[in-house]
Amino acid sequence: MAGDALWMVPSGEARVRDEMLTLEPSDPAELAALRSWLETMARVRVEQVAGTPVPGEQGAVDYLEVIAGSGGLIAAIKVLPEFLRARRSSFKIRTRLKDGREFVLEAGNAGDLLPVLERLLDDDS
């Protein structure tokens, strides 16, 4: 994948370093559907992570980590608008880049926000 950083494994072979994108749906009941949607993509690994409860709260919201080279992450975010349009209008996905920057994707802003996320992911590689 052009532009992805390479790293050496102990055997001496070069591999592409994976990047990570965190996705947290506004409706926890949609987490499994979002995971299934993303797992159909090649070159993308999706892991469900248990959220950490904040002091004083009784529970935490799980989220997804999407792991891939930057090209795979860009492909993953490009399918999110279709997923959003298939849900009710208030559904949102909070997106967090590895540097901590967060964005909220919803059906109304996905077209404007996706090019920004793509550029940020390209800049990180």
Residue 75 covered by a domain: yes
Q: Which residues form the domain of 29? A: 6-124
Residue 115 covered by a domain: yes
pLDDT at 9: 39
Q: What is the CATH number of the domain that holds 54?
A: 3.30.70
Residue 1 covered by a domain: no
3-state per-residue secondary structure call for the chain:
CCCCCEEECCCCCEEECCEEEEEEECCHHHHHHHHHHHHCCCCCEEEEECCCCCCCCCCCCCEEEEEECHHHHHHHHHHHHHHHHCCCCCCEEEEEECCCCEEEEECCCHHHHHHHHHHHHHHHC
Residue 108 covered by a domain: yes
- The average confidence (pLDDT) of the chain is 79
User: Does residue 104 register a pLDDT over 60?
Assistant: yes
What are 33-92's pLDDT values in tens digits? Answer: 999 999 998 889 999 999 888 888 888 889 999 998 878 888 888 888 888 888 877 788
pLDDT at 124: 58
Domain count, the chain: 1
Query: Structure pTM?
Result: 0.74
